[in-house]
Amino acid sequence: MVETQSLEHGVEEATRAAESGEVPVVMSGDGLVGQIGGALVETGSQMGIIPGGRGNDLARVLGIPSDPAGSVAVLAEGNVRDIDVGVANDRPFLCIASCGFDSDANRIANETRLIGGNLVYAYAALRALAAWKPARFTITLDGGSPLEITGYSVAVGNSRAFGGGMFIAPHAELDDGMLDVITIADVGKLRYLRGIPSVFKGTHIEKEEVGEARAATVEIRADREFAVYADGEHLTDLPATLSTLPGALRVIAPPKPETIPT
C-alpha cells in the first residue's frame, strides 16, 4: 500500500507498479483515478478501483460498488473492460470535461472542506449561480462549421456522470470512441436552479435550453477565460481541443450492464 502525496506522486507509483508487472488498484476519487488511468494507457496494464472520493462517478457508471467489500469482490472476480480515455489539450480524463458555469462550481467545490458527500456540489452550484453572468461559447465538432451559443456551460462526456451522480451526458458510452457534447443555453437563474434535480436522472436533456451532439473531436473557445475541469480537477484552460483514445484503458469492472441506474 502506498499513501500518495499528490496526483503526480500517485501517477509515478502506479506507473512504476505497472511496469514491474503488478496491477495498480486506486483507492481515491475520480481525480486520481483519471490521471492514473491516463498514465496506464502507455503501459497496457489493467487498473482496479476502490471508490474513495466524494463523487466516485466513474465507479458509479462502471457498476463498481461504493463499499470497500463490494469493490474488492469485483477485483477478485477479475472481469476486465476496455474503455475510452478522453484527452483535453493532451491531458487525459475519464469522465466529463466541462467549462463555463461548471468551472466556477468545480473550483468552489474543491475549495470547500467543511461539507462532505454530494452536498458539496449543491453548495458549490448555489455559490457559483449567485455571481454567474452568461458566456458566449464557440464549438467546432469534427472540423465542421463553428457553432455559437450563449449560456452556462459546455460539457464533453467520455462517460455519463459527474458531480456525485449528475448524469449530465446520459447517452454517453465509455467504449464507443465518441464524445457527447452537452450545452446549456441562457435561461433565467431560477429556471436553471429548478432544473438541477433533473440532471441526477438525466431528464434535463429534454429541456429546450439543453443541446446534445456527438463527435470524435471537439474544439471549444469562449469570450472570456475559463478553466476546463475534468474528473473534479483543473485539467487545462480554454481554448481546448478534446478527443478520445478508443479502448485504451483496461479496467477491472463488472460486465457492461444493459442500463445504468440513475
pLDDT tens-digit profile of 176-227?
999 999 999 999 999 998 998 999 999 999 999 999 999 999 999 999 999 9
pLDDT at residue number 258:
65
Q: What is the pLDDT of residue 228?
A: 97
Q: Which three cell numbers stand for residue 144?
A: 465542421
At residue 118, does pLDDT exceed 70? Answer: no
Pairing of strands 218-222, 227-230: unpaired
- Given a cut of 90, whether residue 262 has pLDDT beyond it is no
The mean predicted confidence, pLDDT, of the chain is 92
pLDDT band at 115 (very low <50, low <70, confident <90, very high): low
Tens of pLDDT, residues 135-148: 999 999 999 999 99
Using DSSP's 3-state secondary structure scheme, residue 100 falls into strand
Please report which confidence band the pLDDT of residue 124 belongs to, taking 50, 70 and 90 as the band edges: confident
pLDDT number for residue 177: 96
> Can you tell me the mean pLDDT for 218-238?
95
Per-residue pLDDT, 120: 74
C-alpha to C-alpha distance for 27 and 218, rounded to whole angstroms: 31
Largest Cα–Cα distance of the chain, in whole Å?
55
pLDDT in tens, 12-71: 999 999 999 999 999 999 999 999 999 999 898 999 999 998 889 999 999 999 999 999
Confidence band of 163 (pLDDT split at 50, 70, 90)? confident
Q: For the domain 91-244, what is the CATH code?
A: 2.60.200.40
The CATH class given to the 7-84+248-252 domain equals alpha beta
DSSP three-state, residue 238: coil
**pLDDT at position 111:** 80
Tell me how far CA of residue 118 lies from CA of 15, 115, 162, 165, 194, in angstroms: 31, 9, 11, 8, 17
* The one-letter amino acid at 134: P
* Ranges in the chain annotated CATH 3.40.50.10330: 7-84+248-252
**For residue 256, what pLDDT band results from cuts at 50, 70 and 90?**
confident
Give the bridge partners for 228, in sequence order: 236
pLDDT of residue 259: 60
Q: Provide the pLDDT for residue 136.
A: 97
Distance of CA 1 to the CA centre of its chain: 26
State residue 67's pLDDT score: 93
- For the chain, give every residue range classified as CATH 2.60.200.40: 91-244
Top mean-pLDDT range of 22-26, 114-118, 130-134: 22-26
What is the signed CA dihedral for 74, 159, 179, 213, rounded to 10 degrees?
A: 140
